[in-house]
Structure 1
């Protein structure tokens, strides 16, 4: 498998077999996986990844085997495999921040873009889906897959921004995370959702997900547009789903005094702007608390048909064509690439 676009990165061809190593492990037979925007960092050569390491961090599948300490799931169970591996016992997990679990896992997170996955901290972190795969439609399976990362991360942007009933919110970033951030804002009760999008197809999906306004302008023109939409006041909360310093600085300029910016885009560097200080704007966020959100909010919302985040998958591939899945994301031909690993 070729994968790496950058000549600075090695190919990842090392053989790998999933096996129980700890009593808290489980082996998952992967049914569906996908490509994340953060996977493109090493693919493009922006970030380093060692040769032979496994890749991918979003999947749904069937439990094949469990370690001796795992009692919450059993072989045959249909599960969401979050990219986070919260232990459920440490101070962070007990506080609801399983994305920042204090119990370490082995090596870099990966292996979800494969046939089998060794999943650590399986007893608490895995999210069981009721029934069997045959009970669900293709669209529902895609919805479940988003709960492994992208929908939980989008929701985290809203939760971190402290979006509440009746708020006017801006969502910066029109990738899959930003689109799911629109859904997250709606779930948190936002009355008005301003979606910053430069692409017609993404703006259209954003409206379907609940955006009330689309701002297609860039730079200073975008800031002027948002301020005009809010009568010069600014928004009550900003969901930053990009990770660039420019996005944080833009967020500060469109936020009203006292607002909170919820960021989920991994920052390359920290912003140096003093705007946040002078306007009393809060900045918080980080790695999504996937298991906590799934078990308490998101799985039920999907099962009830309240949300359909699986629509972010606009192209599908099988595992033998994973290269094309990455290329579609890299060239912005797909909002998010779905990878079918096995049949139901």
Structure 2
């Protein structure tokens, strides 16, 4: 089988690797038909986070089950499935409370189970990890493209909105115009927010945010962006979605949060340790910080129901499609902001 491999910063190759097989009674083997390149992949691609040379990459899989272990009961050979960006058992203390990202038996996709930007993956804990797509939708390409973001960015944007406490009639601010931020706009609209202010740096992405439900957008930077957000919301919003992870984005989120409000943060932290977090402002204004790595498996069935019902469609975030050989080009396009998110069809 073939898979995408990280070699060095800005060097991704596609190579032959050993086939994956069922190794445990709780495993499944899935032939990947759809996957994606994530904004968080750019951290190691740019050399801004550590990654072992020669490791397989990708964490957003969808495909067809090719084999199952004898104890797997939720899926069978031939089923269309997708999986979150982490592996989870579904039955431990943390999975039972909806915190699948802290699963006691969890794992990542970066090891010898395949890496999801490749032809096949081995899925440990298949019953707890895989989400089965109903047969009537299993071959509808438009539906599958809309479901794929549930493996990560749609569930992550939803986690930001839920963590920020967004409810019907609310005003909220979304920090970030990447795939997660755009999905945060969708999530806030889905939860009934009356006003959604999207903040970013790219006019084309903010236009998509408006299509997704943003009522106002801000393309300014720094203090100007903060001032405009406060003017629009009469002093700040009670609900702020931080969907970037950079220290500057977290600082902006705190500044535009209304006293007594909540910041829902889901951006992978980057640079926060070096630059610090403005804890005093949070303390003095009684700002609550909630969120973290999104347990997207907990939201999968709920969001899938809306996709299948035609009321949720995050697929426009995919602005470029490549095959497996095109994965290196997909990374380059995202790195250079030529694509919001790249769909990969091995």
Structure 1 and Structure 2 fold alike (TM over 0.5) = yes
Q: Quick check: 172-181 or 86-95, which moved more?
A: 86-95
Aligned partners of 1:78 and 1:132 also within 8 Å: no
Instruction: State the TM-score, normalizing by the size of structure 1.
Output: 0.93
For residues 188-229 of structure 1, give each alpha carbon's deviation from its aligned partner in whole angstroms, at most 9, with x where no partner exists.
Answer: 221110000221210111011110010111111111111111
Runs of 4+ in 1 over 3 A off after TM superposition: 1-5, 9-14, 106-110, 132-135
Instruction: Give the unaligned 5+ runs of structure 1.
Output: none
Per the alignment, residue 297 of structure 2 pairs with 291
Over residues 230-255 of structure 1, what are the superposed CA-to-partner deviations in whole Å (9 max), with x where a residue is unaligned? 122x1011100110111111111111
Corresponding residue of 2:9 = 6
Match of 2:165 among 155, 162, 166: 162
Quote the RMSD (CA, aligned, Å): 1.9
Deviates more, 1:196-205 or 1:171-180: 196-205
Aligned CA distance change for structure 1 residues 118 and 41 (closer, same or farther; 3 Å)? same
Q: How many residues align?
A: 337
- Of 9-18 and 23-32, the range deviating more from structure 2: 9-18
In the alignment, structure 1 residue 228 sits paired with structure 2 residue 221: no
- Contact residue 11 and residue 51 of structure 1 kept, 8 A: no
Q: Distance in 2 between matches of 1:139 and 1:11?
A: 29
1:328 aligns with 2:333: yes
Q: CA deviation at 1:106?
A: 6.7
Ranges in structure 2 where 5+ consecutive residues have no aligned partner? none
Does the 8 A contact of 1:160 with 1:263 survive in 2? yes
Where does residue 30 of structure 2 map in the other structure? 28
TM-score, length-scaled by structure 2: 0.92
- Looking at structure 2, the residues matched to 53 and 133 of structure 1 have their Cα atoms a distance apart, in angstroms, of 33
Distance 1:328 1:258 in 2: 40
Q: Which residue of 2 aligns with 1:280?
A: 286
- Alignment correspondent of 1:214: 217
For 1:304-343, list aligned pairs within 5 A: 304-341=309-346
How do 1:220-259 and structure 2 match up within 5 A? 220-232=223-235, 234-259=236-261
Q: Is the 8 A contact 1:20 1:27 kept in 2?
A: yes
Of 176, 182, 199, the match for 2:202: 199
